[in-house]
A and B are shown apart, each in its own frame.
Chain A
Amino acid sequence: MIAEAGLALLWLAASLSLLQLVLGAAALRPGNEPMVGIVRPVAIAQGLLVGLSFLALIWLFLRTDLSVKLVAANSHSLKPWLYKFAGAWGNHEGSMLLWVTVLAVAGAGVALFEKRLRQDTLIATLAAQAVIGLGFYAYILFASNPFERLFPVPVEGNGLNPLLQDPGLAFHPPTLYFGYVGISIAFSFAVGALVTRDVGPAFARAMRPWVLGAWIFLTLGITAGSYWAYYELGWGGWWFWDPVENASLMPWLAATALLHSVTVLATRAGLRAWTIMLAVVAFSMSMIGTFLVRSGILTSVHAFAVDPLRGAFILALLTFYIGGALTLFGLRVRHVKEGSTFELVSREASLVLNNLLLSVILGLVFIGTLYPLITQALGREISVGPPYFNSAIGPIALALAAIMTLGPMLRWRRDELRALSARIAAPALLSAAVLLVVVLLAPGISWLPLLGLAVAPGVAVASLAPLWGRKLRRTPLFTYGMVIAHLGIAVALAGMAADSAFTQETLVAASPGQMIAAGPFNIRFVSAEPVAGPNWTAIEARLEARRGEGAPFPLTPQARLFDSPPTPTSETSIQTLWDGQLYAAIGDGDDQGRWQLRIWWKPFVTLIWAGGALVALGGFLALIGRLRRERRHRPEREAWA
């Protein structure tokens, strides 16, 4: 029953989405103004219905209703409840339902809360959101129905991929989706504003909080995903330039650029067409990411479906939406006015530079991710890995971090070069001093981490500059937000540079009782014991680590074997200290009673994710600050009739 109800709700939501499009399009015609009032409730109802449908799927997973094909294929009655719950989206159909749920809920959010946008633009925005929704409803209903029944009903389910059986599954995919799909709002705003020719500062001020909200989730989702890969995979790395990672990075880069250009549009009425273009590009990157990850053209833990038809379906949707938006852009761009001008030394100019560098990085990631797929289709196998990305992107990212600190120091419209150089003198000196110290104390570090180590402290100090000489109590919250987000970039940069410069790795085959030296630590291999969990058994290495005369602490890496499906995984053990992490993984045993142990000492690696969290926190403060200021300054408007 629940499965049928879920499917019925989904069909209803899809029909409401069609209604939302038709009514919205009709309401935009002159003379049809009375229809305007219906579009908002329809969007809200659509969000509600698809939300209920998603809850129905979660219910089926919690109950392990094996008569549903998806549950039988991906769940198991003996799985811990958290993974039953999160397992609802740990598969292709469920994750697509989550996708469309976030899409519809975001649309409902706009219908509920958006009060600043011109009425006709809002209606056009909701209609555009409905167009996106329709395509993905069709995809789910015709090509990946999550509520399909199975007969005969199996006795037991197949279980969930053990790599996904981690608390990270409950957090990482929904967060990332809120960001990924939340960017659709920016896209729909852009399409709406093109349709009603409403591209201007008021439009930008309305759009900014939505972009900011999606961007915060995207930042959090990427940070969490990176940490998850770091501790789950046991390779000691935190970013692999894997296509699925790039698929989440590309929308983030575009959204970051958009966030900065929308500020120029809101404050100085500049970069109009460019901002619209970025909004289209950002959501296009989300859809390309969905295509890459979900179509099965990549082999990865994220690719659930290996059905060429599904890939073709998403590709068709993607071509339609991106092509449609670009066509609209081409037709309407000459109606978009030129922005106000600015001088070469001005905040606008620095933000243009920020956007150019972010776009170049986006282009490099895009080419590196898609070029191998294209050559593959042409029959030539090449693989593009970390060496390409690091060497091509590293220097530009460092330059971007340095430029990031200039923008907030500059005045809008025009500023003096001499004043600017006085402001950046101290941070620049600090960076030079750090560079000198690192070169003298730790020679032999390759140039990219070395530059990273030097640039990070300068950027950190310079990012605080907007607070210098201001009354801290009277500084607006969004300024704090910007400062903290920029500081977070510096912190993350320091972590990345420290990790690649100073990581020490030890690989040994050791017997219990043996001492292992790993960086500044002495580690005693106490024993290797069998242990068991709710649905797995494991060999656990008991290690005791201490640095110098410090207090010893335990490390217990495991080699697990999950029951259903029977799959070996390795479970790392990580000890976080104030100045870094000690990370241990266990490999195979041999016939002499030895176990392979791989131990990393990673100084200050935690700064990477702390930095990511700071960036998201900064975004959050900026969002609150903007909304509060608007509430205070918004002129009284007539209520919606």
Chain B
Amino acid sequence: MKPKNQRLVLLALAGVAVVGAVILAMSAMRDQASFFYAPADVARQGLPLDRGVRIGGMVRRGSLHRHPDGVTIDFLVGDETPATIRVTYRGITPDLFREGSGVIAEGRFRPDGAFTASEILAKHDENYMPPELTRRGMHKTDAVH
């Protein structure tokens, strides 16, 4: 094979690899990427039951309960609307998780509308506000009911 032809073959291979990567990424993304929902979104669009999602908002004051097993909690997540989501989580909460602070949880909705979190995302700043919420024009003070 001439050097020039071999270069063309290699170039074609690289092109195939790039296109393959993009196709693979997009198809994996369709199955695996999770979408973000605020309580208002759920109230408006209904429950996304078919996939894992992320929810976020503020932990309503006075809504945090610990179950008798000592390791399961549930709490309400609210936003600037009256809508809330009840979240159940089994595990140790992040250090800065408390009532009145911002929270993002990953998990699935159950058909009854409650949310089972597989993970509560930890953010390491006491003034943390989920960017997904800040971008919707929500401020920390709004959520402190």
Interface residues of A (CB under 8 A from B): 161, 163, 233-235, 271, 273-274, 299, 301, 337-342, 352, 356-357, 359-360, 363-364, 367-368, 371-372, 376, 380-385, 387-388, 391-392, 507-510, 565, 567-570, 585, 587-588, 590, 592, 594, 596, 598
Contact = CB atoms under 8 A, between A and B. Distances in A.
Given A301-B124, A371-B29, A341 B91 contact: no
Given A585-B92, A587-B93, A588-B93, A381 B35 contact: yes
Contact of B33 (A274, A388, A570): A388
Nearest to B69: A509
A382 B53 CA distance: 9
- The B interface is mostly helix, strand or loop, or mixed, namely mixed
A368 B29 contact: yes
- The A interface is mostly helix, strand or loop, or mixed, namely mixed
B71 interface: yes
Interface string B1-44: 11110110010011001101110111011011111100000000
Interface stretch (B77-85, B108-116, B126-134, B137-145): B126-134
Contacts of A367: 21-22, 25-26, 29
Given A341-B2, A509-B69, A567-B95, A299 B34 contact: no
Given A509-B70, A567-B95, A596-B71, A359 B18 contact: yes
B95 A569 contact: yes
Contact of A388 (B1, B28, B135): B28
A341 B6 contact: yes
A360 to B, nearest CB: 4
Given A356-B13, A383-B54, A391-B28, A594 B36 contact: no
Nearest to A381: B36
A567 B71 contact: no
Nearest to A164: B124
B17 A382 contact: no
Contact of B10 (A233, A352, A569): A352
Among B6, B22, B26, B93, chain A packs the most CB atoms within 10 A around the CB of: B6
Given A507-B71, A594-B70, A356 B14 contact: yes
Contacts of B25: 363-364, 367-368, 371, 392
A585 B14 CA distance: 46
Contact of A233 (B32, B69, B93, B122): B122
Given A360-B17, A392-B28, A341 B71 contact: no
A359 B34 contact: no
A338 B3 contact: yes
Given A385-B106, A391-B31, 11 more contacts: A271-B10, A274-B14, A337-B3, A338-B7, A356-B17, A381-B35, A382-B36, A383-B54, A388-B28, A508-B71, A567-B126
Contacts of B90: 507
B86 interface: no
B92 A596 contact: yes
A588 B124 contact: no
Contacts of B7: 273, 338-339
B21 A360 contact: yes
B123 interface: yes
B29 A388 contact: yes
B3 A385 contact: no
A347 B135 CA distance: 52
Contact of A598 (B10, B34, B92, B123): B92
Contact of A568 (B24, B95, B106, B125): B95
14 contacts: A235-B122, A299-B128, A299-B130, A339-B7, A352-B13, A359-B18, A371-B29, A376-B135, A383-B33, A392-B28, A509-B69, A509-B70, A570-B95, A594-B70
B142 to A, nearest CB: 18
Interface in B80-105: 90-93, 95-96
Contacts of B13: 352, 356
B70 to A, nearest CB: 2
Contacts of A381: 35-36, 54, 132
Given A382-B35, A569-B95, A359 B70 contact: no
Contacts of A385: 32-34, 106
A342 B34 CA distance: 45
B26 to A, nearest CB: 8
B92 A588 contact: yes
B124 A161 contact: yes
Among B7, B22, B91, B106, chain A packs the most CB atoms within 10 A around the CB of: B7
A339 B92 contact: no
Contacts of A568: 95-96
Nearest to B36: A381
B53 to A, nearest CB: 9
Contacts of A570: 92, 95
Given A233-B122, A567-B95, A568-B95, A341 B3 contact: yes
Contacts of B54: 381, 383
A364 B93 CA distance: 31
Among B28, B70, B93, B106, chain A packs the most CB atoms within 10 A around the CB of: B70
A233 B120 CA distance: 13
A381 B33 CA distance: 10
Given A341-B6, A384-B29, A509-B70, A359 B14 contact: yes
B80 to A, nearest CB: 16
A340 B36 CA distance: 52
Contacts of A585: 92
Contacts of A271: 10
A565 B124 CA distance: 12
A569 B94 CA distance: 9
Closest 5 CB pairs of A and B: A509-B70, A381-B36, A587-B92, A338-B3, A363-B21
Given A360-B17, A590-B70, A341 B92 contact: no
A391 B93 CA distance: 27
Interface string B65-77: 0100111000000
A463 to B, nearest CB: 24
A364 B21 contact: yes
A205 B31 CA distance: 45
Contacts of A565: 126
Given A338-B7, A360-B17, A392-B28, A598 B70 contact: no
Contacts of B4: 338
